[in-house]
Chain A
């Protein structure tokens, strides 16, 4: 209870808004028929990672991890799918751990951190698919997903860099 008392109402509200936004973007991601263009199962833009990365830079790792966990749990609950929880949790935690580690390097920008996170997310999802399927056939898609993560990670990095530039202006208003 004492630990909870350290989180201000404003922070709590912000975490909740970002969690809801991440959940919305995750749902939007699942309805975009990207697989019709790129025939690789599970290929997604990773829009929810925009919120995770933004939270990591603006609020720090504990907040970003909490938002990720809330998004994964609520997403699986709404989908009514336990394996969806495994996919999002493994992908999300692989990405989050990688982004936290990469961010410690002062030489990388948000683009590099985002790219590393996107690649790690795909590795996590392939690991989840191997567990669910009990088969290594999904490893065939890893090279494609890794190559695609350069594009999706770059896109996420671009959006988050624009958002980070806008945050100081928004804070002053």
Chain B
């Protein structure tokens, strides 16, 4: 087995700290860009889309109850009490969308990658993700 690495490359250096700082700075910048410019004007809307196509849009207060969505071979059972939304059950592998819990604020979303389904809470105006 040939070695193309020098032993000096095994130990952390101060320059590695610079990479850590750069990654964390990028995380903060993207967080500010994604979360700060939210404007929840008026009533919250539940926007459900599948494969990029909008399926359903209605006020959160009117969304109360249990809803079932089937897309891309998977079925999601979504529940809302009129103030928050959560996926109760999903046939997708992993069930990440169930583990994500409830969303209740403008801009928050639940994503199910296998089902290609997005449930987003938006302000009554345009899309809340501005940045």
Contact = CB atoms under 8 A, between A and B. Distances in A.
Interface of A: 14, 30, 33, 35-36, 39-42, 57-60, 83, 102, 105, 107-112, 115-116, 119, 129, 132-144, 146-147, 149-150, 153, 157, 161, 164-165, 167-168, 170-171
Give the interface size class of chain B: 35 or more
B9 A143 contact: no
Given A133-B118, A137-B118, A143-B34, A42 B96 contact: yes
Contacts of A143: 27-28, 30-31, 34-35
Contacts of A109: 8-13, 15-16
Given A110-B9, A129-B111, A142-B30, 10 more contacts: A35-B95, A39-B100, A58-B2, A60-B4, A115-B20, A135-B52, A140-B35, A143-B30, A161-B10, A171-B1
B62 interface: no
Contacts of A40: 96, 100
For the complex of A and B, list the 8 residue pairs with the smallest distance between their C-beta atoms, beginning with the closest.
A134-B52, A112-B16, A143-B31, A146-B27, A57-B5, A107-B15, A41-B96, A112-B19
Main secondary structure of the interface of A (DSSP, over half): helix
A102 B100 contact: no
B26 interface: yes
A111 B16 contact: yes
A144 B27 CA distance: 7
B111 A137 contact: yes
Interface in B17-35: 18-20, 23-24, 26-28, 30-31, 34-35
B15 A119 contact: no
A108 B15 contact: yes
Contacts of B16: 108-109, 111-112, 115
A133 B9 contact: no
Contact of A35 (B19, B20, B34, B99): B99
B9 to A, nearest CB: 5
B126 interface: no
Contact of B26 (A119, A138, A170, A171): A119
Nearest to B14: A107
A40 B101 CA distance: 10
A142 to B, nearest CB: 5
